[in-house]
Structure 1
Amino acid sequence: MKIAVKVCGITERGTLEQMKELEVDYIGLLLAPSKRRVTPSQAGELAGFLRSEARGFPLGAARSVGVFVNPSREELAETLAAAPLDVVQLHGEEPPELCRWAADTLGVEVIKALPLAAAGEGGSEADTLAERIARYAGSVHAVLLDTHDPVYGGGSGKRFAWERIPEAQEAARQAGIRLLVAGGLSPDNVGRLLDSYTPDGVDVSSGLETDGRKDADKIKRFVERVKQA
């Protein structure tokens, strides 16, 4: 089974150049409030670079992912007009109806993030995780488990309780959608995650940074450890 790798929070073309030898499946571009936020124009340049056929290296297979938090339909349509994104990731309280509209109208793959409490913290979810996933059956292509951040929604750099993954895996399987895992992942712990669980993909951002910037060595080590698993 191939486990997809998503590297999120890319802001510079130079970072993509440094990744040119790596088998990365998704490149995340943050279009919501974040210290790694890019404008639609910048996202368009980076997504266009990914689609370029002139580069001729493995990253050419990577798909661009625009990450949004509670966007309107107008915002999504306007951003997609400026940026040729392959995937839309919704990281707020977006209902299934908006997810289905984005997939059908904009012609993109849709990932719905589901926030979870950090490990050791109590959650306040009204429904079980399985019920939350089942609600998006037929509306999204994948769900992403991520640790809740009170300011940005995700990208907290904290891990949630991995013991919740089996419940999510079963629910996603029954719903016919893929399961991705984020939240505090790094080159040092992703191997432990994959030794115990087999999600369809892993998503990482701050765990690949040094002093707030993407670190080429950390990206390489992360990808290699996932592919070894």
Structure 2
Amino acid sequence: MNKPVIKYCGVQSLNDLKVVSQSIADYIGFIFAESKRKVDPFYVAKWLKEVNTTKKVVAVFVNPTDEDINSVLEQVPVDVIQFHGNETIDQISRVGHSFEGQIWKALHHHDETIEEMELYQSVIDGYVIDSRIKGQWGGTGVKFDWNAVPTYIEVAKRYNKLCLIAGGVNEENISELLLLQPQGIDLSSGIEIDQKKSNEKIQKIEERVLQNVDISR
């Protein structure tokens, strides 16, 4: 299989950014919503100028206002907007018309996820499938039932969309996920020690990824 798209999310410091910038990740994610990993766009802009990373930047929002989004876009060079809440088709469509980058929609794994993928497919470029944990939108470190992953991949391909698998992916289980040939993998807590991005954990993750793919960096 080819290397899946990799996103390292929840970057919350200059040091985090330096760590992930040395990785094989394609995307780095910053959380601009209420979360233990929430960051201020002012500082993100400063970090990006200092590190000058070539990774694509994902801005993660949960039920944002247009003002929330514009405040980030005015300061941070964003390649992807990821909606991780209960955003409506109309809101996502409106943002998509004015934003030149990609739009991703995070969906929680549950009985109606396929229907939600079909609902949003006309206004987004990619999906992030995450674990459903009451009271939390993401970043839980909890794995969902990966037996559903092949179906999610099939639906995403049907609509010519990218599909990343999130939720509890770490160095101990990523080989299991790679057997399912996901298009993309989204990690946050799985590459952290004490809520800081860890070179050691990233290296272990990437060793397993590169053992299972035909291409490397």
TM over 0.5: yes
What percent identity do the matched residue pairs reach? 31
Instruction: State the SS of the aligned residue for 2:128.
Output: strand
Out of 91, 104, 116, which is 2:97 matched to?
A: 104
Of residues 71-80 and 175-184 in structure 1, the stretch that sits farther from structure 2 once superposed is 71-80
Instruction: List per-residue Cα deviations over 1:6-26 (Å, max 9, x = no partner).
Output: 111111222232344421101
Q: Does 1:69 align with 2:52?
A: no
1:79 aligned partner: 72
Q: Is the 8 A contact 1:77 1:106 kept in 2?
A: no
Where does 1:109-148 land on structure 2 (aligned, <5 Å)?
A: 109-116=102-109, 123=110, 125=111, 128-148=112-132
Query: How far apart, in 2, do the equivalents of 1:184 and 1:73 lie?
Result: 30
Question: Are 2:166 and 1:173 aligned?
Answer: no
Unpaired runs of 5+ residues, structure 2, are 213-217
Tell me, in whole angstroms, the C-alpha distance in 1 between the residues paired with 2:62 and 2:203. 29
Alignment of 1:29-108 (within 5 A): 29-49=30-50, 52=52, 60-108=53-101
| Superposition pairs of residues 15-34 of structure 1, within 5 angstroms | 15-34=16-35
The residue type paired with residue 123 of structure 2 is S
Structure 1 unaligned blocks of 5 or more: 53-59, 117-122
Count how many residue pairs are aligned between Structure 1 and Structure 2. 211
Q: CA–CA distance in 1 between the matches of 2:5 and 2:19?
A: 19
Q: 1:187 to 1:107 in 2, by over 3 A?
A: same
Residue 48 of structure 1: CA displacement? 3.8
Paired residues of 1:3 and 1:199 also in contact (CA < 8 A): yes
SS at match of 2:30: strand
1: CA distance between counterparts of 2:185 and 2:83?
16
The aligned residue for residue 6 of structure 2 is 5
Q: Which amino acid aligns with 1:31?
A: F
Secondary structure of the residue that 2:104 maps to in structure 1?
A: strand
Distance across 2 between alignment mates of 1:145 and 1:178 = 11
Partners of 1:5 and 1:224 in 2: CA distance: 13
Q: CA deviation at 1:106?
A: 2.0
- Paired residue type of 1:222: I
Task: Return the offset for 1:87.
Answer: 0.9
> In the alignment, is the contact (CA less than 8 A) between 1:88 and 1:111 conserved in 2?
yes
1:130 Cα offset (Å): 2.1
SS in 1 for 2:120: coil
Counterpart Cα distance in 1 of 2:211 and 2:167: 20
* Alpha-carbon separation, structure 1, partners of 2:7 and 2:173: 16
Match among 141, 154, 160 for residue 144 of structure 2: 160
